[in-house]
Amino acid sequence: MKQRLENCWEFMKCGREPGGLKANQSGICPAADDLSFDGINSGVCGGRICWAVAGTFCNGKVQGTFAEKRKSCTACEFYRQVQTEEDQAERRPKFLKFISEANGNPVFDKMRLRRVKAGERFVTQGEVSDTAFIIERGSCLVIVEKEGVEYPVNHYGQGDIVGGVGILTGEPRLAHVEAETDMDLWVLKRSQFEDISKESPEILDFLTEIVADRFDSRRPTAYRTIGKYIATDIIGRGGYSIVYKGMHKTLHLPVAIKMMRHDMAVDTEFIKTFQNEAKTIAGLSHENIVKIFDIEERYRTLFIIMEHVTGKPLSELIKQLKVIPPQLAVDFLVQICEALCYAHERKIIHRDINPTNIIVQQNDRLKILDFGLACPVGTEDFSNAGTAFYMAPEQIEGNPVDPRTDIYALGITAYEMVTGMKPFSSEDLSTLLDMNLKQDVPDPARAVRGLPEALGRFILRAGRRDPGQRYPNAREALAVLRPLAKETKHVSSDDLASENRKASTIFLSYNEEQQFDINRLLDEFSAKAQSLGITFKIADFRES
Of the candidates 235, 37, 389, the one whose C-alpha atom is nearest the C-alpha of residue 244 is 235
Cα four-point dihedral sign 395, 375, 387, 338: negative
The values of phi and psi at residue 310, to 5°, are -100, 145
For residue 356, CA distances in Å to 6, 367, 387 come to: 38, 11, 10
Residue type, 17: E
Contact 244, 214 (CB under 8 A): no
Of the candidates 172, 187, 190, 191, the one whose C-alpha atom is nearest the C-alpha of residue 116 is 187
Gap between the Cα atoms of 72 and 469, Å rounded: 77
Of the candidates 542, 508, 519, 515, the one whose C-alpha atom is nearest the C-alpha of residue 24 is 515
Active site residue 352: yes
Among 33, 263, 331, 352, the active-site one is 352
Gap between the Cα atoms of 433 and 385, Å rounded: 9
Contact 332, 364 (CB under 8 A): yes
DSSP code of residue 65: -
- What's CA 281's distance to the chain center, in Å? 23
User: In angstroms, how far is the first alpha carbon of the chain from the final one?
Assistant: 37
**How many Cα atoms within 13 Å fall on the side-chain side of residue 207?**
27
DSSP code of residue 180: S
Residue 14: Cβ within 10 Å count: 21
- What's CA 184's distance to the chain center, in Å? 33
Gap between the Cα atoms of 518 and 509, Å rounded: 10
Which neighbouring-strand residues pair with 256? 245, 306
Contact 429, 438 (CB under 8 A): no
Active centre residues (catalytic): 352
